[in-house]
Structure 1
Amino acid sequence: MILRLESLIQNLRDKIFKQKLRFKDDYGNDFPEWKNKNLGEICEKKSSNISANKIEDNFGKYIIYGASGVLKKVDFYEEKSDYISIVKDGAGVGRLFYCKGKSSVLGTMDIIKPLVNTNTHFLFYLLSNIDFTKYITGSTIPHIYFKDYKNENFGIPSLEEQTKIADFLSKIDEKIEIEKQLLIQYKNQKKYLLQNLFI
């Protein structure tokens, strides 16, 4: 089920960004034509200087992200609103996360924030369609740099159509997350039952 949904969202993303699947506005009318733009025209990059060593003894309620996702919770945050983080150094380079506001990232990651007239969720799905492997440099420790991939060119829809696309794809992502949680619960129940079978 999860693999089918992940395959579905990948296929839909491909069709949407190739403009083979278009949305209508609330009145059934076509949205305006998409405009060709470079990635650097619709978002900006910020850096973080937080190291894992500095937050070892820090605990709180605000999430801090590392290369594998949520690292821990600390007593401060650097980003007030939602953003996208990307692993820029080391293992997992090019991995993306959609990050809720009031959170931070380690220095091995970059923060990508939308500019005016860009939906954050839409930007996340757009970035998910980039093959970052072609931008990797460094043989010992791999790196990617925003200055290299910011020139990726895309068709960009109006903000209203971006929002429709983002809402549509987010609903499938939410379904995938629910299925993953159900699978974890099922595995935990199975493990518990097997452990207690011979008591």
Structure 2
Amino acid sequence: MSNKTTPPLRGTPSEKGNDSPSPKGWQAKPDGVVPKLRFPEFREAGEWEEKPFDELFTIGNGKDYKHLSSGDIPVYGSGGHMLSVNDYLHDGESVCIGRKGTINNPMFLTGKFWTVDTLFYTHTFNGCLPRFIYSIFQNIDWLKHNEAGGVPSLSKTNIGKIKVAVPKLKEQQKIADCLASLDERITLEAQKLDMLKTHKKGLMQQLFPSVGGVAGEA
């Protein structure tokens, strides 16, 4: 886990004399938008630029893996990791989103991996950082973009039309680093919680007498 400390963020004042930070909402500007919450060093960095996703990256289709042999390269579907094979579809950082099924659980992948038909992956990023795009994906209500009446589905065309606001690369990096450090803390705390739950379960099994194989039941 990183020991870096995150500098405080300051609210970008929407009115003169108002410096109250707010993580929600945007300020409209003549040529773009800026967030109401911003790191101090970027307070005067100008507006964020609105662009559709298809100008920021390319969306790739997953493929069938059944012709491949077992190996050490992970295969992912919209539900997560499935198995490992001996070949890869992409090598590098990528943000993935479900094409069908689980469409509201974006993933950030690095290194070599394979995705199946139910999972889109992204590549060839233009003026944006994959980690920053991942943060944007996490902030989107993907179910609102569902295109099917039955099993939830997304299409590359409609994903590509979604417009988002993006800052310069340095500010993207700052935001991505900040949120990644929080993700690390969340993961660590979740692991601690799982350990405590396991510990509690073990204690309960020892503190209550077992009758018929069920602790505490008489």
1:34 aligns with 2:48: yes
- 1:170 equivalent in structure 2: 180
Matches within 5 A, 1:98-109: 98-109=108-119
Q: TM-score, normalised by structure 1?
A: 0.79
1:192 aligns with 2:208: no
- 1:45 equivalent in structure 2: 59
Number of matched residues?
A: 182
1:23 aligns with 2:34: no
> Could you tell which deviates more after superposition, 170-179 or 59-68?
59-68
C-alpha distance in 1 between matches for 2:133 and 2:181: 16
C-alpha distance in 2 between matches for 1:21 and 1:82: 27
Q: TM-score, normalised by structure 2?
A: 0.73
C-alpha distance in 2 between matches for 1:191 and 1:58: 40
- Provide structure 1 residue ranges, at least 5 long, that are not aligned to the other structure: 1-11
- 1:160 equivalent in structure 2: 170
8 Å contact kept, 1:137–1:144: yes
Select the structure that is richer in helix.
1
Shift in Å, 1:29: 6.8
Shift in Å, 1:93: 2.1
- Percent of paired sites with the same residue: 26
C-alpha distance in 1 between matches for 2:183 and 2:124: 20
RMSD across aligned positions (CA): 2.6
- Which among 96, 109, 114 is matched to residue 85 of structure 1? 96
C-alpha distance in 2 between matches for 1:97 and 1:125: 10
C-alpha distance in 1 between matches for 2:43 and 2:204: 57
- Provide structure 2 residue ranges, at least 5 long, that are not aligned to the other structure: 1-21, 27-32, 211-218
Q: Which has the higher contact order (CA 8 A, sep 6+)?
A: 1
Shift in Å, 1:30: 3.1
C-alpha distance in 2 between matches for 1:164 and 1:138: 37
C-alpha distance in 2 between matches for 1:143 and 1:100: 24
C-alpha distance in 2 between matches for 1:134 and 1:182: 34
Select the structure that is richer in strand.
2
SS in 2 for 1:60: strand
SS in 1 for 2:90: coil
